[in-house]
Amino acid sequence: MSFAGYPPPVHLLGDLGMEAELTTGTTARVRTRVTPQVASPGGGVRIGVLATLVDIVGGAIAARVLHPDWMATADLAIELVGPPVGPWVEARGSVLRRGRTTLVVEALVVPVDEDGGDVTVDGRVPDPVAWASMTFAVLPAKDPSAAPQLAADPPVRWAFRGGGLDRPVLDALPVTVLDGPAGRVSVPASPYLANSFGAVQGGVIAMIAEAAGAEALGAVQGRDGSGMVVTGLQIAYLALGRVGPVVTSARVLATGPDGRSGAVVELRDTGADDRLTTVVNVTAEPADLAVRVAP
Amino acid sequence: MTPATPGPGPGDRRTVGPDGEVAEVAGVDPEVDRRRHVSDYFRLERWELPPGPTGEDGPPAMAGRTPVDAHLRGPGGGLRTGGLLTSIDSLGGFTSGLAVLPRWIVTTSLMATVSELTHVGPLRLRADVLRRGRNSVVTALDVVDEGASDRHVAAATLTCAVLDPDAMTLEFERPFVLAMPEPQVDPAPPEEFFCIEPGEGPVTRLRLEDQLRNPWGILHGGAVAMLADEAACRAALAAVPGAGSAHGVAATDVVLHYLRPVKVGPVEARCTVLGTRSGRTTVRVAVHDVGSDDRLVTLGSVTVLAV
């Protein structure tokens, strides 16, 4: 299944090796393998990678439900819950409401085994890895007859194929830290990171915000970004980042006695008059406080 | 999905003066609206800020102030998170509405992270419109504690859908100012005011009394937030042994999607404890309008911290 040739052959989604299934007309699941390249400093999977899974699962559902219209992610929230105790993590999404101008999707990220089945630990299903939700803005089709044809009736399976990641995912983007304490990081708006509009993909935006928030919040505690685990993202997508590079800034809100802290991260498209593209509420905790699980 | 107040029903016309008095409302008793309005319970003062660099054509910005009255303090020692969310919803929704006049808005999602649970008060809020589109408005809110040297309390993002034109006509004297309501004598505690009571298991109920309806006749979004907060804290306390054994629990990170209006009631918040991570319990909250075919009206998550 592809959407007018998206993604291209060399693309982050392919390198993440995502496998997807539209399970019904309103539900889908997308999984990726837990590897050291996507590991967070606490040993789990980076929340930005999980947000990418969620964005893809929501997009797959939205493309089906809204056809022939199209969509843009308006907001996405994700909260880490438990460790990824399995070889794969899978986002399972379902529709909450389909309105005239918006579609709301809920997703639960769970650990799964090699066959895609639920992982059990000591005979019980472990806590989910994360809970997420998102809102899509409906973009009415200008010419419904020109919309991409729907695939066959569900279930429909497809995979994003690529060469795989040979380095940590933040290095693959790549994220360049300009000023850690100020939460200033820079990422190019390259085709490798693009969405179907040619702008920086929504999940990549989450990874950038994760990196910026971790840098700023870590600096307050004398750490760099690798010393923090981002546990929550609340993302408001305001505009597309088409030109780049996308550069962030962060405002640290508070740091608790146990090191858990929050920041507001702004992303701007510096090649487009420094346009504000995204605002993200980021929460994080020190890596040594986080649940440690070796991927 | 809840229209931000003040806001009349479809086809109504109202004028709100600089003192906040409703001069003309068709189909709504202004005395009830003024006395029993949910945001008045938290004594939220509101004022419009002078135009920014973009001038009169730019989106409006507003500020607000709410005291931290004794009966509104939660286990964290500050304003209960549900109360904080109510003020955020009220100020953010109103600011979003001003941005699209003569049209108006409904709140569709609220995302908030609370960084400080202990407050001196009063709390000062600021709302800035981030994006004003044809179909939606996104507004960022920041909350600080004036009584604690403007220590940061919360950050939030509110998304509103713009209603169809001709649904109503709204007129406001600008810049808009609404004074802080006087404190009530012997005020009801939040559970009583919001008609919230325990249900069976991980369920918390709300009776939809008239004072909880906004001028549209549907449940105020702040009341939904209050219910979600209360329900999630109860569920976390029941599910996690030892959670909040010292003083209790309080909500920190909250995401709410207002999917449909609550019209009939009673209302049930059905909670699922998803798990606990580093002392914080994440609870999925599904709010149903039992009297309206039990339909799902709001869904979200609340992360709860032992305090």
What are the structural domain ranges in chain B? 2-306
ipTM of the shown complex = 0.94
d(CA B111, CA A130): 16
Confidence at residue A294, expressed as pLDDT on a 0 to 100 scale? 38
d(CA A55, CA A135): 10
**Which residues of B are less than 8 Å from A128 in CB distance?**
274-275
Helices (H), chain B: 30-36, 38-41, 81-99, 190-193, 221-239
What whole-number percentage of chain A has pLDDT above 90? 78
* Residue stretches of chain B with pLDDT short of 70: 1-36, 54, 165-169, 241-247
**pLDDT confidence tier of residue A6, bands split at 50, 70 and 90:** confident
Beta-bridged to residue B296, according to DSSP, are B288
Q: Which of B306, B289, B305, B130 minimizes the C-alpha distance to B224? A: B289
Confidence at residue B53, expressed as pLDDT on a 0 to 100 scale? 72
Residues 6+ apart with CB under 8 A from A228: A41, A213, A214, A217, A218, A221, A284, A285, A286, A287
Average pLDDT over residues A73-95: 94
Q: Which of B132, B128, B114, B100 minimizes the C-alpha distance to B3? A: B100
Domain borders along chain A are 12-286
Tell me, what amino acid is at A192?
Y
Confidence at residue A206, expressed as pLDDT on a 0 to 100 scale? 98
Q: Indicate the length of chain B as a whole number.
A: 307
Confidence at residue B247, expressed as pLDDT on a 0 to 100 scale? 65
Confidence at residue B51, expressed as pLDDT on a 0 to 100 scale? 83
Say which CATH architecture domain A12-286 belongs to. Answer: Beta Barrel (2.40)
**Which residues of A are less than 8 Å from B278 in CB distance?**
231, 258, 260, 285, 289-291
Confidence at residue B11, expressed as pLDDT on a 0 to 100 scale? 34
Confidence at residue B246, expressed as pLDDT on a 0 to 100 scale? 54
Average pLDDT over residues A128-154: 87
**Which residues of A are less than 8 Å from B258 in CB distance?**
none
Which residues of B41-135 form beta strands (DSSP E)? Answer: 45-48, 61-66, 105-114, 123-132
From A96, A137, A256, residue closest to B257, measured CB to CB: A96
Angle at B133 between CA B130 and CA B138, to 5 degrees: 35
B145 interfacial to chain A (CB closer than 8 Å)? no
Residue pair B211/B222 in contact (Cβ under 8 Å)? The answer is no
d(CA A102, CA A238): 15
Residue pair A84/A129 in contact (Cβ under 8 Å)? The answer is yes
**A166, pLDDT greater than 60:** yes
DSSP H/E element including A59: helix A47-66
Q: Does the CA dihedral A173-A179-A180-A181 come out positive or negative? A: negative
Confidence at residue B265, expressed as pLDDT on a 0 to 100 scale? 94
pLDDT tens column, A168-193: 999 999 999 999 999 999 999 999 99
Q: What's phi and psi for B303, nearest 5 deg?
A: -100, 130
Residue B23, both tokens? 């001069």
Q: State the pTM of this model.
A: 0.92
Residue A184, both tokens? 């200033």
Residue pair B231/B190 in contact (Cβ under 8 Å)? The answer is no
Confidence at residue B35, expressed as pLDDT on a 0 to 100 scale? 37
What whole-number percentage of chain A has pLDDT above 70? 96
Whether B253 and A238 lie within 8 Å, measured CB to CB = no
User: Would residue A102 be called left, alpha or beta, if left means φ above 0 and alpha means ψ between -120 and 50 degrees?
Assistant: beta
Q: Which residue has the higher pLDDT, A6 or A45?
A: A45
From B155, B159, B260, residue closest to A264, measured CB to CB: B155
Q: Which of B274, B188, B118, B33 minimizes the C-alpha distance to A125? A: B274
Q: Indicate the length of chain A as a whole number.
A: 295
Residue pair A125/A119 in contact (Cβ under 8 Å)? The answer is yes
CA-based max dimension of chain A: 58
Q: What is the DSSP letter of B79?
A: B
Helix then strand then coil, % of chain A, to nearest 5:
20, 40, 40
Confidence at residue A125, expressed as pLDDT on a 0 to 100 scale? 86
Fold of the domain built from segment(s) B2-306: Thiol Ester Dehydrase; Chain A (3.10.129)
d(CA B281, CA A111): 19
pLDDT tens column, A189-211: 999 999 988 999 999 999 999 99
pLDDT tens column, B24-34: 333 344 444 43
d(CA B171, CA B182): 25
Q: Provide the shortest C-alpha distance from residue B76 to chain A (in Å).
A: 13
